[in-house]
Amino acid sequence: MIAPQSVEASAAPHISISNVSKTFHTRSGAVQALEDIHLEIQRGEFVSVLGPSGCGKSTLMMLLSGLVPSSQGQIEVARHKIDGPNSHIGIVFQQDVLLEWRSALQNVMIQAEIRKLPVEAARERAKQLLEMVSLKDFESAYPKELSGGMRQRVSICRALLHKPPLLLMDEPFGALDAMTRDQLQLDLLRLCADNAMTVFFITHSIPEAVFLSDRVVVMSPRPGRIEKIVNIDMPRPRRLAMREDPQFIEYTRELTEIFKNLGVFREEH
């Protein structure tokens, strides 16, 4: 165990967001990004936040990370009120944000260097993580020598090195082609199964949200509000073929319907 975490009582939710709002003050006036958000997430849950651009879903993730303060309300992670950068997390952005001057392995190891974790154990784990996402032979490659999918896999390994109890992901596969995306979804699910953690996953892809999640939080655009929460009751491990299951199709249909009612989709009749 690299980063020992105090084990909380399993009854309390891992994340508790109550009455949270966020207003940005811009030159053209105040913009309300989030309005009255209530959400509880249990330890080990995979929760996707689904919504169109501008619904404040990324803002919600930034509030959880503590890197951006909320305007109102309270966020607790593992019973601790968030009022500054929360370092008990792993974070993955749409851009891989790899450090161009470091090899793949060194990019994963930056996490250990900054946190001053024991080097040998961390290196062992970093190599293990890279191997799990089929990058064993690319440990010493520089980011510019890697494809987009490989780069994002390195960035996920970096986020997991210190065994964070909470993984935050902001449209991590949004910039990847469809096939790479499928593979990375599978990689992510495997990593999740091996590292007990809560995942807060931002996406604008309905099938992606259904495929990965235990629960899908649907957000409405401007100001961002939680419109509905859909439980995805499908067995794990998830397989690609499950996307053809009637159950899966029913979930995506249900979610599409919600967005249609919100006016996100408009169809000719």
Partner 1 sequence: MADISNTTSPAVPVPQVLRALGAISPAVWTLIAVILIWEVAVRITEVPVYILPSPSRIAQEFVVYWPRLLANGMVTLSEVLIGFFFAVLIGVPLAVLITYSQVAERSIYPIIVASQTIPKVAIAPLLLAWFGYGMTPKVAVVVLISFFPIIINSVVGLKASSAEMLYLAKSMGASQWQIFWKFRLPQALPYIFAGFKLATVLAVIGAVVAEFIGADQGLGYIILIAGASFDIARQFTAIITISVIGMLFFAAIQLAERLVIPWKQSPNMPNG
Among 99, 229, 240, 249, binds partner 1 (CB under 8 A): 99
Per CB under 8 A, does 198 bind partner 1?
no
Question: Binding string to partner 1 for residues 135 to 154, with x set by CB under 8 A, is what?
Answer: -------x-x----------
Per CB under 8 A, does 58 bind partner 1?
no
Min CB(204)–partner 1 separation in Å: 18
Look-up of token digits 């980011």:
143
Q: Tokens at residue 209, please? A: 């949200």
Min CB(129)–partner 1 separation in Å: 16
Q: Give the β-pairing of 46-50 and 215-220.
A: parallel
Beta strand residue intervals within 27-176, DSSP E: 29-41, 46-50, 72-77, 80-81, 89-92, 166-170
The DSSP secondary-structure symbol of 241 reads G
User: Hey, CA dihedral for 144, 152, 93, 95, is it positive or negative?
Assistant: positive
CA distance 54 to 24: 13
Query: Are the C-beta atoms of 102 and 61 separated by less than 8 Å?
Result: no
**Stretch binding partner 1 (CB under 8 A), from 9-17, 95-103, 203-211, 257-265:** 95-103
CA distance 189 to 234: 14
Among 21, 59, 70, 86, binds partner 1 (CB under 8 A): 86
Min CB(8)–partner 1 separation in Å: 20
Query: By CB under 8 A, how many residues form the interface with partner 1?
Result: 23
DSSP 3-state assignment of 60?
helix
Among 9, 25, 27, 100, binds partner 1 (CB under 8 A): 100
CA distance 165 to 93: 18
Separation in Å, CA 145 to CA 98, 108, 140, 150, 255: 12, 16, 10, 10, 39
Per CB under 8 A, does 85 bind partner 1?
yes
Per CB under 8 A, does 110 bind partner 1?
yes
Interface of this chain with partner 1, residues 111 to 130, rule: CB under 8 A: 111, 113-115
Min CB(114)–partner 1 separation in Å: 4
Q: Which is nearer to partner 1, 93 or 138 (CB)?
A: 93
Residues that bind partner 1 (CB under 8 A): 62, 65, 67, 85-87, 89-91, 93, 95, 97, 99-102, 110-111, 113-115, 142, 144
